[in-house]
Chain A
Amino acid sequence: SAVISQKPSRDICQRGTSLTIQCQVDSQVTMMFWYRQQPGQSLTLIATANQGSEATYESGFVIDKFPISRPNLTFSTLTVSNMSPEDSSIYLCSVGTGGAGTQYFGPGTRLLVL
Chain B
Amino acid sequence: GQQLNQSPQSMFIQEGEDVSMNCTSSSIFNTWLWYKQDPGEGPVLLIALYKAGELTSNGRLTAQFGITRKDSFLNISASIPSDVGIYFCAGHRETSGSRLTFGEGTQLTVNP
Q: What residues of chain A have their CB less than 8 Å away from a CB belonging to chain B?
A: 1, 4, 31, 33, 41-45, 48, 58-59, 92, 96, 98-108, 110
Contact = CB atoms under 8 A, between A and B. Distances in A.
B31 A42 contact: no
A47 B43 CA distance: 18
Interface string B33-77: 101000011111100101000000000000000000000000000
Interface of B: 1, 3, 30-31, 33, 35, 40-45, 48, 50, 88, 90-92, 94, 97-100, 102-105
A29 to B, nearest CB: 11
21 contacts: A1-B45, A33-B98, A42-B88, A42-B103, A42-B105, A43-B88, A43-B102, A45-B99, A59-B1, A92-B43, A99-B48, A100-B92, A101-B91, A102-B31, A102-B45, A102-B92, A105-B43, A105-B45, A107-B41, A108-B41, A108-B42
Contacts, number: 65
B94 to A, nearest CB: 7
A25 to B, nearest CB: 13
